[in-house]
Structure 1
Amino acid sequence: MLRITATAVALLTGLLAVPSASLASPASPTSTVTPTNPPAHPCAAATQRCEGRIRVPLDWGDPASERIEVAFAWVPRKGATSTVLANPGGPLPALPLLPVLERTVDRQNLLVVEPRGLGASSPLDCPGLDLNRPESIAACAAHLGPRSRFFTTDQAVADMDAVRKALGLPKVTFYGISYGTLFAQAYAARFPDSTAGVFLDSLVPVGRNGYAIEPIRARTDLLELTCRSSRDCAATWSALVRRLRDRQDPAISMLTLQSLLPRLHEPVFGRELNAAATAYLRGDPLPLRRLAKAADAAPVPPLRGPGFAGMLSYKCGDAAFPFGRKATTAERERRLSRFYDKKRPMRPFTVAELGGTTGWADWCLHWPTPRDNPPVPRRAGHPDVPTATVAGDYDTHTPAEVARYFPHGELLRVIGGGHSTTLGVDCARQALRSFLARAGELPRSCDVSSHRALVAFPRTAEDLPDAGDLDRRVVAGFATASDALVRRDPGSASYRRLTEESGLRGGRLAFDDKAATIRLEDVRFVSDLPVSGQVVLNPDRTATARLTVGGAEVVLSWPAFRPLDPVPVSGSFDGRPFTARIPVR
């Protein structure tokens, strides 16, 4: 059965149901994309949000081709002197995310065009489509026929420029997120005279052939960001895979283990994964099994539904894979198999251990791509306009990779950041707003880290870090409370779905997010000191805990969700006040 990576899970969670699309006769192959000049749209005179549609050619290279409808939303702002053309990525329906984009782009005029084949723009529809069943992908392609080859980025950006013309807008600044950055690059290259600037969040890179680069890799490189010694970390991870290959653990499949890597941007996983791997190899499986259980409990969107047809059309038509675009399915399978055998892109895993697929490359084996349609024309240069990119350390493509594609643009590195940071990280959102307002240079980086990675998991109180003369029960209480609190870090999406969890070595945690409280019942973070009581997250982002630890009363207060080591802690032990700095390990 095909499985999907954790990175793709975040993307597909937003997939929305779309209405059926009517099928029409095939159109002729495309040539140069040159939008015509449509008449002014009624929305051009709007003073408040206006949603509309225009009719465009199925094939912009053939003026006589079938007409399809493209939907858009126009949000004029009083006093605005510039317009932002935004796409939130996916490729998914864009209009449902209009309220989010309106809050993010809050001072400029905003234009959102629904990409063709998705949502309200002549959606492609394949009843019974299931990515777990390759035959249903092939059946979908046959059902849609040759017209589906025009539901790709080169055609979609021509639709976007047609909407711009219909609204009488001279130029736009393209703000693209994730797959929206591919639309942005294609638009700027194909319509440079209509482009005032480009802002890219979470880049989809484009190769020299003009096609998107669809990464096929296990992302073990992300471990370097959380490991105190990347060489030791890589060796530890390889040894862990070998151990699980030789001695299978029913609680940790290879698929689950690999799915932990894209979650490293979440504080719990980033804080604990390397230490948990080390502990496993030293005979302590509990920390890694706990992470695996949380990952397995996270909801996974179903890989079936008619709306995947539009996504397949873009992802398969816009990208370069290790097989030819015009190759038969059998030849594609042979070439992809040779690629896996030679390059071993998922090392230290094998593709077979991961269910026999790496994602889109395998799904696109069964999707015909006979048209030569690079999103960015070959040898096209980037227009000489202001350009900025935002890249999170834990994103699909790291800041170092992004810098290679836009060496003259501004680059903001979000330290500890993941994907689509402008939608949820204040410093990234402020960078976007500064760029749109042309308010000086962007900062080179912003740090959103909320934790320090653990080096080891203690088994007993004797293994806890040395905190001077502080009683070990205080150190154990703090270690247990902070271990519980990190599971409510706002960035820990997988854990915040859990309402309760077993303690690492016994006992029970109960999470009450409404009351910002965690209850501990005989929780054993270390095996020889049970902890009961509660942890409270205060509005000022400090945490307080009232605990019973090994028969002693411990009260603690410390700054929450900050990457501190050691951590300043104050409180009392059996009624005696103390202040201390407790190391993180």
Structure 2
Amino acid sequence: MPSAVAGTPTGEGRVAGARHECADAVSRCDGTLSVPLDWNDPSSERITVAFAWLPAARGATGTILANPGGPLPALPDIPRIQQALGPVLDHQNLLVVDPRGLGESTPLLCPGLNLAAPATIAACAGRLGPRAAFFTADQAADDMNAVRQALGVGKLAFYGNSYGTLYAQAYAARHPGTLTAAFLDSTVITSPGGYALWPIRSQTGQLDLVCERSRACRALPGTAARTWAELVAHLRAHPDPQVPMAALATVDGVYEPVFGREATAAATAYLDGDPAPLRRLAAVVPSLPAQPIEGPQWAGYLAYRCGDGAFPFDRDASPAERQAQLERHWREERPLAPYTPADLGLDVRNGLEFCVRWPTPRNSPPLPPGARLPGVPVMVVGGDFDTQSPAEVAAAMRVFPGATFVRVPFGGHSLAWGGGEAGACVRTALRSFLTDHRVPAVRCSAENYRASGAFPRSMSDLSPMPVAGLSVRERRVLAAAFATAADAVARRNPYALAHARLKTQQGLRGGRVDFRDGSVVLDRASLVDGAEVSGEITLGADGRAGATLQVTARDGRAAARTHRVSLAWAAFEARERPALSGTFDGTPFEVRERT
């Protein structure tokens, strides 16, 4: 049973159907409810479901049932849910239920379980036995409804994030009369049979989406996806220890804005004999956070993933038949193209899909085919770079008669929990919608860069800045200074994951770049041969960048000359080149933006 927050009541083990003590709480109350293992058989084994009830701070006008996804325990994410909802909770109660089998709700546990070791998955399924088939979204939805009834809540709005959107669909299908609205962020969509789709597929097409938005990237030869396929084939034939295939498959993930900005240009450069840009991107991959997939608590995750999921094999097939169907799918459909499983160190015959060895004998689609979902207001938000494309989500959510889909350009997963302007914008939309159940007229976007064009290798590859009063050479030096500064600042994009962890990085052609709170320090950093840039770039909370730099430039055999350059620009905007101002050796200049 979850422990109560200090100074708040705790309700223990109440049976579904009875009024729960937490119904009368005036502050957070953590409680449990006894429910049947199988809601279709009231006489079945009883299990315990844990929940938290947070009454509105200033008088309730409604209730929000929230689930953060996973499928993982929900109660630990209450602070994050509260942060997303913000002032909405002044007048809305919040209900969070740990889904059965997870966290504090009769957790399923398998000592020694490792999702990367298929034998431990099979052993776990054997340990849990037939009862594991009832730890699925359809049953969890009935649990949530039982808690709603025990608290005396008439109707509620559902806020689902990621897997929480699948719970929302399961709940809406089974208890439509209790729903007033739903906000779905990063939606899990279902197959024609009503089971959740878990697509394992390459998404190199997203490189095309990013490149098409950039004049400089479009000027590169071929299409982005074809260039990437050519790169994969080249590295398969000529392995590069500094660009392992597994790292390459991460670099093509444009959800990381620096990858999106540079991947196509870096691939083009590599194929043209310049490996430095791609190697620099690949070197950052090990710093990406990785979620552990080992521990007894992952049994609950498996129960949902396998019980709720649709896969490239039949649910009622034996493990051997499933394996054969899975191998045929990989052989014929090639979902990871241009990669092969072997490229990425994956073994189709051993451990590529968790659920091959997990029995799914029960018919339990989260969204039953033909279900009539309520015509309540439903707001669905989805990003370009999520697992499911905006088009796929928009089409799938037509099952809600009152659904409105809102695309977030360049957005990733869990949009309302994200940083930057896009995260703040989606949170504003979330709060507005859950207050009055009307889709607000907001346009949220995470598109704050343009993809790079060809990487310059020397000063002569740079186009001189269009500045009056300076020589061609000086305008090229100015171009080198700005390109080097902009390249360094790009690694502090507010949506960055891997690059946000960097403390230092080598300059592309030499020198060093150090990252500090609110500033970037260049120490003889070279983006192009022949120009070394030193100095400091400050970054304001508004995204404005200011730089005071010394640029030492060499032209062939001529003696090096050092220039003092100051720059000011808006660092994170979707423009080919932002408006730029500053001084060059004391001479002021301004450069108009280029969209």
Tell me the TM-score normalized by structure 1: 0.90
Q: Secondary structure at the match of 1:117?
A: coil
Q: 1:122 matched to which residue of 2?
A: 106
1:509 aligned to 2:503? no
Q: Distance in 2 between matches of 1:178 and 1:301?
A: 16
Task: Write the letter of the residue equivalent to 2:396.
Answer: Y
CA-CA distance at 1:361 after TM superposition: 6.2
Q: Secondary structure at the match of 2:211?
A: coil
1:569 aligned to 2:580? yes
- C-alpha distance 223-360 of structure 1, shift in aligned 2 (>3 A): farther
Q: Distance in 2 between matches of 1:360 and 1:441?
A: 43
Q: Distance in 2 between matches of 1:410 and 1:241?
A: 39
CA-CA distance at 1:539 after TM superposition: 3.5
Q: 1:457 matched to which residue of 2?
A: 455
CA contact under 8 A between 1:412 and 1:443: conserved in structure 2? no
CA-CA distance at 1:564 after TM superposition: 2.2
CA contact under 8 A between 1:269 and 1:291: conserved in structure 2? yes
1:276 aligned to 2:266? yes
Q: Secondary structure at the match of 2:239?
A: coil
Task: Write the letter of the residue equivalent to 1:362.
Answer: E
CA-CA distance at 1:169 after TM superposition: 0.6
CA-CA distance at 1:440 after TM superposition: 4.1
1:47 aligned to 2:26? yes
User: What is the CA deviation profile of residues 406-430 of structure 1, one whole-angstrom value per residue up to 9, with x for unaligned ones?
Assistant: 2351111111211111122112112
Q: 1:420 matched to which residue of 2?
A: 414
- C-alpha distance 95-37 of structure 1, shift in aligned 2 (>3 A): closer
**Counterparts of residues 479-518 of structure 1 (less than 5 Å):** 479-513=483-517, 516-518=518-520
Q: Distance in 2 between matches of 1:487 and 1:47?
A: 46
What percentage of aligned pairs have identical amino acids?
50
CA contact under 8 A between 2:102 and 2:108: conserved in structure 1? yes
Task: Write the letter of the residue equivalent to 1:428.
Answer: V
After superposition, the CA RMSD in angstroms is: 2.0
1:85 aligned to 2:32? no
Task: Write the letter of the residue equivalent to 1:421.
Answer: L
Q: Secondary structure at the match of 2:579?
A: strand
- C-alpha distance 93-360 of structure 1, shift in aligned 2 (>3 A): farther
Q: 1:33 matched to which residue of 2?
A: none
Task: Write the letter of the residue equivalent to 2:72.
Answer: L
CA-CA distance at 1:482 after TM superposition: 0.9
CA contact under 8 A between 2:27 and 2:54: conserved in structure 1? yes
CA-CA distance at 1:322 after TM superposition: 1.0
Q: Secondary structure at the match of 2:521?
A: strand
- C-alpha distance 321-361 of structure 1, shift in aligned 2 (>3 A): farther
Q: 2:329 matched to which residue of 1?
A: 339
1:162 aligned to 2:146? yes
Runs of 5+ unmatched residues, structure 2: 4-14, 213-217, 553-561
CA-CA distance at 1:168 after TM superposition: 0.6
Q: Distance in 2 between matches of 1:201 and 1:44?
A: 28
2:44 paired residue among 51, 65, 71: 65
CA-CA distance at 1:325 after TM superposition: 1.3
CA contact under 8 A between 1:317 and 1:369: conserved in structure 2? yes
1:261 paired residue among 236, 248, 252: 252
**Counterparts of residues 294-333 of structure 1 (less than 5 Å):** 294-333=284-323
CA contact under 8 A between 1:556 and 1:570: conserved in structure 2? yes
1:291 paired residue among 259, 278, 281: 281
Relative to structure 2, which stretch is displaced further, 470-479 or 282-291? 470-479
1:179 paired residue among 121, 146, 163: 163
Q: Distance in 2 between matches of 1:357 and 1:204?
A: 26
Q: 1:30 matched to which residue of 2?
A: none
Q: Secondary structure at the match of 1:493?
A: coil
CA contact under 8 A between 1:279 and 1:456: conserved in structure 2? yes
Runs of 5+ unmatched residues, structure 1: 1-17, 20-35
Relative to structure 2, which stretch is displaced further, 465-474 or 395-404? 465-474
Q: 1:433 matched to which residue of 2?
A: 431
CA-CA distance at 1:321 after TM superposition: 0.6
2:534 paired residue among 529, 532, 535: 532
CA contact under 8 A between 1:87 and 1:112: conserved in structure 2? yes
Task: Write the letter of the residue equivalent to 1:417.
Answer: G
CA-CA distance at 1:465 after TM superposition: 3.2
Q: Distance in 2 between matches of 1:152 and 1:539?
A: 44
Q: Secondary structure at the match of 1:567?
A: coil
Task: Write the letter of the residue equivalent to 1:164.
Answer: R
Q: Distance in 1 between matches of 2:68 and 2:258?
A: 27
CA-CA distance at 1:346 after TM superposition: 0.7
Q: Distance in 1 between matches of 2:81 and 2:19?
A: 25
Misfit runs of 4+, over 4 Å: 357-361
CA-CA distance at 1:142 after TM superposition: 1.4
Q: Secondary structure at the match of 2:441?
A: coil
CA-CA distance at 1:331 after TM superposition: 1.1
Q: 2:54 matched to which residue of 1?
A: 75
Q: Secondary structure at the match of 2:407?
A: strand
User: What is the CA deviation profile of residues 136-168 of structure 1, one whole-angstrom value per residue up to 9, with x for unaligned ones?
Assistant: 111111122221111111111111011000001
CA-CA distance at 1:381 after TM superposition: 2.1
CA contact under 8 A between 1:467 and 1:582: conserved in structure 2? no
- C-alpha distance 450-270 of structure 1, shift in aligned 2 (>3 A): same
CA-CA distance at 1:354 after TM superposition: 2.0
1:395 paired residue among 370, 383, 386: 386
- C-alpha distance 121-292 of structure 1, shift in aligned 2 (>3 A): same
Q: Secondary structure at the match of 2:547?
A: strand
User: What is the CA deviation profile of residues 531-570 of structure 1, one whole-angstrom value per residue up to 9, with x for unaligned ones?
Assistant: 1111111234211111111111111111121222221111
Relative to structure 2, which stretch is displaced further, 408-417 or 169-178? 408-417
Q: Distance in 1 between matches of 2:333 and 2:33?
A: 46
CA contact under 8 A between 1:137 and 1:366: conserved in structure 2? yes
Q: Secondary structure at the match of 2:71?
A: coil
CA contact under 8 A between 1:466 and 1:583: conserved in structure 2? no
Relative to structure 2, which stretch is displaced further, 447-456 or 179-188? 447-456
Relative to structure 2, which stretch is displaced further, 557-566 or 344-353? 557-566
User: What is the CA deviation profile of residues 196-216 of structure 1, one whole-angstrom value per residue up to 9, with x for unaligned ones?
Assistant: 112111110012211111112
Q: Distance in 2 between matches of 1:81 and 1:147?
A: 39
Q: Distance in 2 between matches of 1:527 and 1:395?
A: 38
1:219 aligned to 2:203? yes
Q: Distance in 2 between matches of 1:346 and 1:363?
A: 17
